Amino acid sequence: MRTIKLPSGEQVSAIGQGTWYMGDRKGEATREIAALQLGIDLGMTLIDTAEMYADGGAERIVAQAVAGRRDQVFIVSKVYPHNASRSGVPAACERSLKRLNTDRIDLYLLHWRGGHPLAETVAAFESLRQAEKIRHWGVSNLDVADMEEIARSPGGGECAANQVLYHPNSRGIEYDLLPWCETRGIAIMAYSPLGHTTSRLLRSPALESVAKRHGCTPAQVALAWGLRFPNVISIPKASDPDHVRENAAAIDVVLTAEDLAEIDAAHKPPGRKQPLDLL
């Protein structure tokens, strides 16, 4: 598995595993845990979750999946905006630590911007980092202006990642946010890299054509496309073992200039500033 370097120099898997919608149904728990464990075996050792997902249920699934192998994985979780105050962040973190059955979160993110000042959230993150409750912190769904505000905040230079929607049908970040982060060594974590409605994106004639040339699937082309940038981490979610293997194998797909031109022709890159896409 190829790795991406965080600002600290730490390396994390370029393809990780998402958990949005995991933990919603008790009958699916065994299957979800097994899928995450298979993903770890295949090198997708970064696992992304959040207190929001299934009201903490996804964090509990992650805890069971990493039991006995915590040191092999890099756990990412997120705090709700309404919990992102100076006192709310540590309280939320403690709840997540308990659900994850761990003593630290490797990367803790602000899920999206809310009513609490960003500087206050940064201060809370920094306190948690110094207390070794979290190892790194970052943000999610923040655009350039927000990132610049983060950078101006005391301790803001420690921001390690920004998790945003990114796939061939959602390319607005390429205009300014992605290069802004790349220049500063901040990782971009691409959520829903196969599209929120995967069937629509994966029926793209361009992706199908490129996949045929490489002897792979359109999903693998979509993942390889996002990973063409050196600071992008992709976090597809999969509960089916075949899909887990398919995601992991995408790391071996290397797109050519011809491939990228064909995708660009069908899925236009941004020519101007666009509002940040959100789900």
Q: Which residues are catalytic?
A: 53
Retrieve residue 175's tokens.
């205009």
Q: Which amino acid is at 82?
A: H
CB 97 within 8 A of CB 133: yes
Helix (H, G, I), strand (E, B) or coil at 276: coil
**239 to 32, 192, 236: CA distances (angstroms):** 5, 14, 10
Distance between CA 246 and CA 118 in Å, rounded? Answer: 38
**120 to 114, 222, 272: CA distances (angstroms):** 12, 37, 32
State the virtual CA torsion across 36, 38, 39, 43 in degrees, nearest 10.
140
